[in-house]
Structure 1
Amino acid sequence: MNPDFCTGAGNLDLRVGTDIQSVAEVEDALREHRAGYLGRIFTDHEVDCAGGADASATVLAPGLARRFAAKEATLKVLRPTELVPRWRDIEVVRHAGGWVGLALTGAAEELAQAQQLKTFSLSISHSAGFAVATVVATRLMEIGPT
């Protein structure tokens, strides 16, 4: 790497979190604890995007498994110690074009600000009974004179 590349500028710090979630586990949780599970972990927007509150557990499970994996991956990026976000503090939002992003509130937003994490990128998918999510966050760190 060219040493002049970082001189006087900043250093880009990348944080990456990945998680995998069984769709069957989410489906089982929906069948056993539907209202409590949905209300504690997912926002109304997330449930709507996954199929809606009236959808069957089989219909909801893949979408909610992707979103749960995204929440876990985000926690790996945020690295909480004392201040731990609630599940609903991390929301997977679907944009009009179909791609997804993250909206952080509460303790999740506080952790991101305290660590100067500026941008979050999210990718989610599912296949063969498993959902996967990867979150990448960036932070510009100041570099002093060497």
Structure 2
Amino acid sequence: MVQVRIGTDLIEVASIAESCERFGRRYLERIFTPDEIAYCEAGGEEMAQRLAARFAAKEACMKVLRPVGGGIPWRSIEVVKTPEGWVELKLHDSARRLADAAGIVDLSLSLSHERSMAIAVVAATIDS
């Protein structure tokens, strides 16, 4: 039997922009992988929107993974842009272990952002 888990998150772009301004590089490197940072920085004026969408993706993914206790490191969930322009999730370390333990065999991601808001939806297929 196949099960599905859905996670979603909506975030104000301004909250991410404020964190970047207040904490700088330390904030970016705590939350995002080097590849995520490079992609978002290349977005120019869209940098905060891109970061917010990726932050929302990480939150939505955590809702799917359902960590018990304290959560998992932000950077163990990575948003990757495919050559075709789609986005995918790549899990590392503790996030990968949680997904494996839950029987998650596939993750799908959808992102959207505009000037003030960003949203992400994550769907997980579980083979039970």
Instruction: Say yes or no: TM over 0.5.
Output: yes
Task: Kindly provide the amino acid, as one letter, of the partner of residue 119 in structure 1.
Answer: D
Structure 1 runs of 4+ off > 6 angstroms?
none
CA distance in 1, matches of 2:127, 2:92: 21
Alignment of 1:1-146 (within 5 A): 11-52=1-42, 59-82=46-69, 84-141=71-128
Percent identical: 41
Q: Is the 8 A contact 2:49 2:115 kept in 1?
A: no
Query: TM-score if structure 2 supplies the norm length?
Result: 0.94
CA distance in 2, matches of 1:60, 1:76: 25
CA distance in 2, matches of 1:62, 1:50: 8
Structure 2 stretches of 5 or more lacking a match? none
CA distance in 1, matches of 2:21, 2:10: 21
Greater helix content: 2
RMSD (CA atoms): 1.5
Quote how far apart the aligned CAs of 1:136 are.
0.2
Quote how far apart the aligned CAs of 1:59 are.
3.9
Structure 1 stretches of 5 or more lacking a match? 1-10, 142-146
Question: How far does the alpha carbon of each residue in 1:46-95 deviate from its partner, in whole angstroms, 9 at most, with x for none?
Answer: 1111124xx77x54210000000000000000000036320000000000
Question: How many matched pairs?
Answer: 128
Highest Rg: 1 or 2?
1
